[in-house]
Amino acid sequence: MVVAAAREIRDGEVVFVGMRLPLLAFCVAKATHAPAAYGLFESGIIRDEAASDLLYTMCDPPNVAGAASCVPMSVVMSLLQRGDVDLGFIGGAEVDRYGNLNTSYVGSCSAPSVRLPGSGGAADIASLAGRFVMVMQHERRRFKPRVDYVTSPGFGDGPGWRQRMGLPGGGPSATLESWHHGASVDDIRGETGWDLRVAGDAHPTVPPTDEELAIIRQYDSTGFWTK
């Protein structure tokens, strides 16, 4: 998942990195195919090189040391509003067939069975980034026909919705183009709550290279994010 996320980053892009696995994905991309990518962090940190040590949160000292800039949160969020962000990473508890994400609650709003952390900057990223990619575990309970609450918009209720709502960002950009080792298309369909369409040229995911694995193991030597 880390390597698949890293491969979504193109050289020279401005990337809203987010939390968890994308923290590692940015390091892999910077050290391999995207050395000119820039990383933005919601805490106000802007980096033109990867942090020197593992990040547990975006505010950790290794992310501050050597940063290109440390600015108020409003500054990095304004870069989204200006259209300067090419790609954003988002995680979620639920996603539906139109790429809408829920990180607010599970169940009804009046009596939720689970309360979630909320939006943070995710709704801004989903609305304003040139495109966004969701990094989350593929389970049927998460991949629902309709999320219980739309925290971060994908394509709303279908084609044309983003344009009607005036959202300048492009929305979700990655589809079922490949499946990881140990899985199959049938497995993925079985863990999806709707009739999943598969790209005609779908194929097994190209395995991580030795270099990509070495970078991940260098940063995450104890397996904090990848164990």
Q: Catalytic site residues?
A: 42
User: Strands 101-102 and 105-107, how do they pair?
Assistant: unpaired
Structure tokens at 169: 């960002």
End-to-end CA distance of the chain: 12
Q: Three-class SS of residue 196?
A: coil
What's the token pair of residue 79? 């870069």
* Residue 102 token pair: 């829920």
Kindly give, in sequence order, each residue whose CB lies less than 8 Å from that of residue 184, ignoring residues fewer than 6 positions away.
none
Q: What are phi and psi of 26, to 5 degrees?
A: -60, -40
Report CA-CA distances (Å) from 205 to 20, 44, 100, 209, 220.
21, 34, 24, 12, 22
Q: State the residue for tokens 């369909």.
A: 189
Contact 43/73 with Cβ under 8 angstroms?
Answer: yes
Task: State how beta strands 131-134 and 112-115 pair.
Answer: unpaired
